[in-house]
Amino acid sequence: MGTPEFAVPALRVLAASDAADLRLVVTQPDRPAGRGRTLAPPPVKVAATDLSIPVLQTPTLRDPEVRARIIAIEPALIVVAAFGMILGKWVLDLPPRGCVNLHASILPAYRGANPIASAILQGEAETGVTLMRMDRGLDTGDILDIARTPILPDDTTDVLTARLAELAADELSINLSGLVAGTLTASPQPAGATLTRQLVKADGWIDWSRPAEAIERQVRAMWPWPRTWTTLPDGSTMQVHRATVVPAPEVAAATPGTVMTRGLVTCGNETALRLERVQLAGGKPLDGGAVANVARLTPGTVLGTAGAPEPPPPPLVVPAP
């Protein structure tokens, strides 16, 4: 059971393994995508079709026909990776070897919908993939194994997601025989769990009063969606695709969000950010020197004076209840 690109490498491991006979792939329906909003299949459906594996697409597991089809194949094990649905008790209780999930964080940190961007945003030095047994809670099940990887200084959410997808596939490959045989030992999650929510566009809003280091992490965490953004004095929006923290002692007396020379913008705590790649509303992305030459980014311009989302979104990461 899986839906986005993150789940594809694990699917390929299952399809190629001699330890298991992959009978069915369950994924979400085709969704509108792109500027034309034409229906596009989820990446897992595309991969499963290429592998000649039967695919069941459904918006819910409560449909009696869906339930009957899953029960009919008598699964011994269900592997889940970024499926996007909560599994009900009937699914969890169905396979003798249980349901396991490949979750893209080092549990118990960053349970829920958005672990990868959250780890970047919070400034974590590493993240990973947790292979866990599933229960009725949201990513609360016992831990079977954890694979770790450092978060690199230039990692964006899409880059880190791709690396974690391969790590998840490796983790599944290493443990698949033990999962099928039922010989793996699980351990309860330690204390200190945190919970993440889905991203919304407002999460990309730049608060220039925050330190430059925090904003730079936000730029990477919000790529490729919703992307970080601010407003110009005329009210138009500007996306910030890439930025670099730079020493700028002259910013001490400047209002946060003030454009300085060479594409520098002042931030909180007397820090500064260099805009390396931006995109004005209706325009194409601009890099390097082209950013410094944008007429509406002349020195003294103050960004983000209007247009902040109201109300602001709740915190992306909160302690788990």
The residue written with tokens 């999930």 in the block is 101
Collapsed DSSP state (helix, strand, coil) of residue 60: coil
pTM: 0.96
Per-residue pLDDT, 35: 78
Residue environment code for 174-199, b if the CB has 16+ CB neighbours within 10 A, otherwise e: ebbebbbeeebeeeebeeebbbbbeb
DSSP category for residue 168: H
Whether 5-196 and 201-297 share one fold: the answer is no
- Write the CATH number of the domain with boundaries 5-196: 3.40.50.170
In the chain, where the domains are located: 5-196, 201-297
β-pairing, 55-57 vs 25-27, is parallel
Dist CA 108 CA 189 (whole Å):
6
263 in Cβ contact with 275 (< 8 Å): yes
* Dihedral of alpha carbons 177, 180, 184, 189, sign: positive
Per-residue pLDDT, 34: 79
Residue spans of the chain under pLDDT 70: 249-250, 252
Per-residue pLDDT, 252: 67
Question: Looking at the domain covering 201-297, what would its CATH class be?
Answer: alpha beta
The two tokens of residue 229 are 């953004």
Per-residue pLDDT, 289: 84
